[in-house]
Amino acid sequence: MAFLYLSLTSINMKKIALLAFSILFTIIKGNCQLTKGNWLLGGNASFTSTKYNRGPISDQDLIEVRVNPNIGYFFIDKFSGGLKTSILFRHAVIDSDTENSSVLKVGPFIRYYILSVNNSVNIMAEGSYQFITGNGSLKGNTLSFFTGPVIFLNNIIGLEFLAGYSSEKYPKAEGVNNSIQINIGLQIHLEKDN
């Protein structure tokens, strides 16, 4: 009985090792479509939690979930630009009052991949400017910068781990909202037809 258990365990371990090796081989062999004329389609998501302390009487807790789809085009090798949209769902607790809202951001972005186009792991830097609109007469703009590694799972799909800085300004409000964000996302790199 113990021999049968060891045999089954070693078979399962072999399958797990083979699966892990296959995934690793796919990642290592993967290269991406970062060349002129190709399309970029994808996005990322993020979660932000902010606590404002406005003195002993007034506090504000803010939770935001963002979904950031984008579409871009490679104008030259490793350099793309396009349109980025951010859909933001916001839950705020101000003292004992609760407020839920949604915000839409739309604007251009540029993106540059630092390493060679043949690398299965690359480093990306991105900047974007977006116009903000939301509930009621909410208007504003945001400027953001992100960077981080992109792991190409194959020659089409890139998995991104990004960290960045975002600064929002609303003309009817005092001050600027500055945030540090961490995003995880996927990008699909569509090869041009020959």
Residue 1 has pLDDT above 50, yes or no: no
Average pLDDT value for the chain: 82
Domains in the chain with CATH codes: 31-190 (2.40.160.20)
Q: In terms of Cα–Cα distance, which of 142, 143, 145, 178 is closest to 162?
A: 145
Could you please report the per-residue DSSP string of 3-69? HHHHHHHHHHHHHHHHHHHHHHHHHHH-----STT-EEEEEEEEEEEEEEE-SSS-EEEEEEEEEEE
- DSSP H or E stretch at residue 89: strand 79-94
Quick one: average pLDDT of 103-110?
A: 95
Q: How far is it between the farthest Cα atoms of the chain? A: 75
Q: Supply the pLDDT for residue 175.
A: 80
Q: If we measure between CA atoms, which residue out of 115, 118, 182, 122 comes closest to residue 149?
A: 122
Kindly state the percentage of the chain with pLDDT values over 90: 42
Is 70 buried (19+), middle (13-18) or exposed (0-12) by CB count in 10 A?
buried
pLDDT, average across residues 73-102: 89
Q: What is the pLDDT of residue 105?
A: 93
**The pLDDT value given to residue 110:** 98
Average pLDDT over residues 133-159: 90
What is residue 83's predicted lDDT score, i.e. its pLDDT?
97
Residue 28 has pLDDT above 50, yes or no: no
Rounded average pLDDT over 25-48: 75
Q: Worst-scoring range by mean pLDDT, 54-68, 82-96, 126-140? A: 54-68
* pLDDT(54) > 60: yes
Q: What is the pLDDT of residues 110-123, one digit of tens each?
A: 999 999 988 899 99
